[in-house]
Structure formats: structure tokens, C-alpha cells
Chain A
């Protein structure tokens, strides 16, 4: 039986807008195919795991306060995460997780939280807490080899700049910056995004892209995605009309 191993970091602190649901969806889609999906959790004050033994590292989003709390701990994991990433471990990062892999995150009070600097982008939150990018978002992406429209929900103050390889093009909503054109950050083993919802709930192709990557490109048996696709189509019809 094939197996994938996921490390879910700071599940108890970074979990906004159903982000933990992404783990539930990945394990559901594995289970339906007879793939074993083992999810380990890591949080502050725990002994550092061997990051490289995981097929995927997942970090969700959190409020400013929670992000400040985990920032130092995350920095102490820098070498381990960087090594895993270079060895091909998939990084799946939402919102706060996305921001903290860049150079830095400057919050609304001007506090600068250093990021891991794995990627060149950086994030600045506007001084007014009222200025947030909030709402449904539609993004067109071709990472699966086919052009698909994916749907999620964004809610972030942070404006992420200097993205060279985005996840996709914004068709509705904001994306990396207010009224922006691009959303997220992508490499073959990195999906970083502001899309909550949870992101995978309406975008099964993205879930399968990650599962397939973790299984080293294996062909996946098809699942009935009728509910998921109907769900997305309802939103696409509403938002792109």
C-alpha cells in the first residue's frame, strides 16, 4: 500500500477559516483510494522533528497575535524546513504560513516578524486594520497542465510583493495585493496561497496534484467529485457572471 506522510505545523495556533479542513480533505481523498495518509502534528515547545522524512509540510493561517507567538519557533525550524524543501518535500502554505516563508512580515503596528527567507517575497500589512482583502476569490491556474478556475475565500491585511511565479491569475477578488492580478506563489513542490475555504474543498484537482506529487507522480484512480465540482460551479456562475 502506498503512503504519504504529512507534517501539519502549528495546527493548534494557525487555523483560520477551516484551514485544518485541507488535511481532512487530503486524508479523505487518500483513504478512498487505499493510500495511507499519516498526518503528524508539530507545535511550539515540541522537540524538532526530522522534516525531510515528510512528503508534505502544511502550515495554515492565523491572526497577528498567533503569528507573533509562533514566529520564533518557526525560525528555529528554518534549517530543517529548508533542507526538506530542497530535498523535494512539498510545502503547502496558507495565508500566515505563506507570509512567513518569505523575507519578512510587517504587521499593522509596524512590528517586523522575520520570515524564513526561503523565497524572495515579503509582506506588509496596511496600517489601518480596516483595509483588508476580504471575500470570495476566483483564480485561473494551469499548474495541473490544464487551465482551471479555482475558488476560495480570502481575508488578509498583508500585501505580498515581489512574486515571480504566482499560483494563478485573479479573475475575481484581490490576490497577493489589493485589487491585484496574481494570487499565491508556486513552484513544482510549493503551493502558497491566501485562499481559505478551505482551499481544497472546492478544488479537488489541486488536492490530487499534491497527492500525486507526494507519490512521485503516480496516476491516481478517479473519485466521484460531483458534489465538489457542482459546489465550485455554483460559485463560478455567481461570481463571474
Chain B
């Protein structure tokens, strides 16, 4: 039966390829139905699997961990395109397995959606699970955040492999307490950085001890609810870090982790946490230090993550923000930059965005400095306009243009620095619209 399913799957992949379609998810969906929802169970994987999950940073961390092993000369399989549900992972393995379902590789590095961790790894044997963070994100797809964390906790209760957890996120660190017999729980941690605060700055989750319900005490907040916390009642948060990021200076940017100083390309506190997770995996697997240096210091993010465009002479920074934490970080970067600027905010509510847009009310717009104009676009252009207006921003400076090309045209009208924030499904169309504008206008000038 399994062989038959593999055969069917491989034929579907071939057919899709024939029509030049990306076989990223569809073969998996078909096999999911045919295999009674256990589409990953037909594969034989003998090599170690590392899975990376969490709300923010999965793609970056997965790519970096994949590079650690790739540069060490290992033959790895990874889901670069981010197909991270069980069906996406099934489609990926279909491409690499033989007719008996055996997957030949030295290592599988798999970005895995938070809600699919128990699904996939009840079918495939997992060696290491890296959990980065939990924030409000697409809550309506997953039910409430608590449900999501409980799913992974349920999985962790019987998991005895390596657990690499963000020790500064109470939503993540609690997973480390689920299986007292697991001696392989490792926390990564970061010391206070320059913009850390003593009180909470942005709306967030998990401010109470999940074990006894008392308010958690924080020594500092790095951003949102990420920071050095402890429950004074039950001691939750009192652990020995496996690896610590210290001497964080985002101006340069540099930070030290495990005694080694890194100079990453991107200077954000996010990136420091992500790269500390990468360094933890490197330490665990004994990766050569010069390889780890190369991966962490050379990693750059593209695809609408702090990406720069030139609209004529107007420098424009585009950043993806799929939740309040991401949006708040972009606003921080924008505010820390001197001079006047204009903002385009593109907000969609497609299925992958989670249909609901109320998370924009958790963005702290009170720090809106030197923003001389706001343009809004996307399927929920009016929602973000109302939100910014009610934060006290002058309504007459807000222009709503749902159509993206029109909105980019409007943004480029005035001179000066521009920022663009786009949510998940908006980011690629926004890049395309920016590129269309650039192509059209450079053609005109020559």
C-alpha cells in the first residue's frame, strides 16, 4: 500500500513538473487524503531530523541551520520554500525518496508549522526540536494561542530528543518542563540590549506563570514579552542557559555567544535571538567554528525583510510584518532613523493572513515620530487607516488607496525617505508593485 502511495505521489510530482508547476504542496494534499491523513508515515528516514518551529524567525533559522550542515559537507534536505505543513513536508520527501519510500540524506532540516509539529513527528522520528517564540499570529486558524502551545507541550511530554528553547520567552520555555525525564532540554538566552525596557512596551502574550498563574517578574524586556523573567512562586524561568548572547551592540552590529564574537549583517534584536538559536545548534552538533562564523556573519534576509528599493531618488525600506511584534519592530527602526519620512502600510486579510486584522490594534503607534504622511493599501486598507487615525494621527494626512500600484504612485509623489510595511500575503504583491514602479519610471527617464 505504501509503495502504491509513493508511486502515485511521484507520478503527480512528474505531471506537475511537466506543466512547470511547483509541486510544493499539492502532491502532499492528495496523499494526505489517500493515506487517511498520515501522509508522512510512508517514508523511511534513517538520518537525524532537526525541526524548527515558532511564530517568528522560522525561515531564517532553518536556512542558517541548513547551511551549517551543507558547509560541513553533509547531504541535506530542507524545505527552502517554506512549505512547512505536513502536506508540504510530504511533497518535499516525495521528491527525494526512492520507490520504497526510503529518503537518502545525511540530515533533514525542516521548518515546521507550530500546529503541525505533533502531526509530522508522530510519523517521523525527530532528533532535535528548536522552538523560537510564540506570538499572536493567525490566531483564528489555530484557535487560541494556548491551544497551540498545548499541542507542542503534549508532544514534548513523551519526546526525549534535544529541545532547544528560547529561554527568554515564557510561552516557549514552559515546553521544557513537560518531560522531567528528558535530559536534553537546552535554553538559549540573551542579555539586556540598549533598547530593552524595565516595563512592558508592546501588547503581548504570556505575562503570567503557566504553572501557578502568578504574574511573572521581569528583570528586563527586550521586546514584547521576550526578556529575563522569573516566577517568584514556583521558580519557572530559573534555568542554566546552554548558550547566552551578550555584549549586544546593534549599531555595529556585533554580539557574543558562547565566547565567540559575531558580526551579523542585520542589526536587530530579533536577528540576535535567531542567530543565538543557530549557534546553539552548531554547538550541539560540534560544527567547526569557522563554518558557524561564516553562516552567522554572512546571512542576509531578502524577500521583503528590511529590503531596500530606490523609487527614483527616494530610498524606500520594505519590511514584512505579519503580527504586532514585527510591526512594532519596524516602527522602532523607523523612529530611530533621523528626519522626516512617509509610510505605506499594506494590509490584506487573505486565508494565509488569518482573515482577521484586529492585531493591528496591538501595534503601538504612539511612537510615530516625524511621519509626515501615511498611505494605506490592500484588502483591508481602511482598517489600518482607522487604526492609525484613532491613535491620534491627523486624519487629513492619511490617504487610502486599496490598489497597490496607485498606492506606490502616491507614495513616490513627494521627495524624502519612505517606509513600507506589508503583512504576509501583501509582501510579494507589494514588492512587485515597487518593482513595476521602478521599471516604469526608469524607462521613462531614458
A residues with a Cβ closer than 8 A to B are: 12-13, 15-18, 20-21, 24-25, 28, 31, 45, 63-66, 68-69, 129-130, 132, 134-136, 153, 155, 157, 196-198, 201-202, 224, 227-228, 230-231, 234
Contact = CB atoms under 8 A, between A and B. Distances in A.
Nearest to A152: B358
B298 to A, nearest CB: 39
Q: Which 9 A-B pairs have the closest CB atoms?
A: A18-B361, A21-B361, A231-B382, A18-B358, A17-B358, A63-B144, A63-B146, A28-B390, A134-B140
Contact of A12 (B207, B357, B382, B385): B207
Contact of A231 (B139, B215, B385): B385
11 contacts: A12-B207, A24-B361, A28-B392, A130-B143, A155-B139, A155-B144, A196-B356, A198-B361, A227-B382, A228-B386, A234-B380
A155 B387 contact: no
A135 to B, nearest CB: 6
B386 A231 contact: yes
A65 B213 CA distance: 9
A227 B398 CA distance: 10
Interface of B: 139-140, 143-147, 203, 207-208, 210, 213, 215, 355-362, 380, 382-383, 385-387, 389-392, 395, 398, 400
Nearest to B362: A18
Contacts of A198: 358, 361
Given A21-B358, A69-B213, A202-B386, A227 B207 contact: no
Given A17-B356, A227-B385, A227-B386, 7 more contacts: A15-B203, A20-B361, A65-B210, A153-B140, A196-B356, A227-B398, A231-B382
Contacts of A65: 146, 210
B398 A132 contact: no
Contacts of A134: 140, 355
Max chain A C-beta neighbours (<10 A), residue from B358, B359, B392: B358
A34 to B, nearest CB: 15
A196 B362 CA distance: 13
Contacts of B356: 17, 153, 155, 196
Contacts of A25: 390
A234 B358 contact: no
A230 B391 CA distance: 18
Contacts of A132: 143
B108 to A, nearest CB: 29
A135 B361 CA distance: 17
A18 B208 contact: no
A231 B383 contact: yes
Contact of A155 (B140, B362, B391, B398): B140
A24 B391 contact: yes
A12 B204 CA distance: 9
B153 to A, nearest CB: 12
Contacts of B382: 227, 230-231, 234
Contacts of B140: 134-135, 153, 155
Contacts of A45: 215
Contact of B390 (A17, A68, A201): A201
